[in-house]
Amino acid sequence: MSRTMLKLSNEQKLQFESEGYLIVKGLFSEQNLTEIDDTFEEISHQTVPGLFEPDLQADGSDPLKRYPRVMHPHRFNETAKKYMLHQPVMDVLADLYDEEALAAQSMFYYKPPGSRGQALHQDNFYLQVEPGNCIAAWTAIDAADDENGGLLVVPKTNTFEIACPDIADDKESFTTHYVKPPKDEKAIPVIMQRGDVLFFNGNLIHGSYRNKTKDRFRRAFICHYANQSATHISDHYRPLYRQNGTTVDLEVNPNGGPCGEEFQAVYPH
């Protein structure tokens, strides 16, 4: 093969290892981003049972009724699947894992003006990748900042154990769980431009602000991955995919996590 694999610098790898997250620019061309724009604009007018169920006649009191997040679009849309397996993203993941990455999940957030945010949480509470960890690739389809509901991260919490969450404030968060940051550790905003990709470790505590703007969406294409040497994952994320599109079936993780089986079963990510 003549293609040159994208490689991270030592400084980039060190930042991911020490802080738990890393922004990489330039992984999506404007042509790629326009194709994602068009695809999810078309999806926004559809209903896909169990994966995307908008209220097309919503009165606007809760913007997320009209524009809920799209779960697993790769299961019904080939463009979403293509970009979940986007080679430059898979290259970065292979560099971070020191082995091939397996794609487990895709999501698309529209996050229109006025939308609630998402309380601080840890991704591997839901994915339960073992051994190893999940990594998220969070692509900003719109510029993201503290006004339109950009991401928050708590640096260095990638080394903390997965915690049993508290219940989130449903006036501010559309999800149920809240993980309190460790003492003396604070969530900081991640400012991103269109096309930037934020990679972060599955234990990193993160969330997002409410979209306080009147006229700016904060769209994001978010995928989760597992390391090839993982043997177990939560059932919600099977099958997984190699970069070439072939499927991989890991064992179902029977571990209910820090809260036990019943708590785990009620709240899939």
CATH number at residue 111: 2.60.120.620
Give a yes or no: residue 75 inside a domain.
Answer: yes
Give a yes or no: residue 216 inside a domain.
Answer: yes
What contacts 266, CB < 8 A, 6 or more positions away? none
Smallest CA-to-CA distance from 127 within 104, 144, 102 is with 104
pLDDT at 1: 40
pLDDT at 129: 98
The residue segments making up the domain with residue 121 are 10-266
By the 10 Å C-beta count (0-12 exposed, 13-18 middle, 19+ buried), 141 is classed as: buried
Per-residue pLDDT of the chain (269 residues; tens, 9 = 90+): 445 678 899 999 999 999 999 999 999 999 999 999 999 999 999 999 999 999 999 999 999 999 999 999 999 999 999 999 999 999 999 999 999 999 999 999 999 999 999 999 999 999 999 999 999 999 999 999 999 999 999 999 999 999 999 999 999 999 999 999 999 999 999 999 999 999 999 999 999 999 999 999 999 999 999 999 999 999 999 999 999 999 999 999 987 778 875 455 444 45
Positive/negative CA dihedral, 140, 238, 73, 51: negative
C-alpha–C-alpha distance, residues 99 and 142, integer Å: 30
Give a yes or no: residue 61 inside a domain.
Answer: yes
**Residue 190: DSSP 8-state:** E
Give a yes or no: residue 163 inside a domain.
Answer: yes
Give a yes or no: residue 72 inside a domain.
Answer: yes
Looking at the structure of the chain, the number of domains it has is 1
Give a yes or no: residue 227 inside a domain.
Answer: yes
> What does the CA dihedral 161, 231, 98, 150 come to, rounded to 10 degrees?
-50
pLDDT at 255: 74
Give a yes or no: residue 213 inside a domain.
Answer: yes
Give a yes or no: residue 5 inside a domain.
Answer: no
What contacts 225, CB < 8 A, 6 or more positions away? 93, 101, 102, 103, 104, 134, 135, 136, 137
pLDDT at 261: 59
pLDDT at 125: 96
pLDDT at 263: 55
Predicted TM-score (pTM) of the model is: 0.95
> Would you tell me how many other CB atoms lie within 10 Å of the CB of residue 102?
27
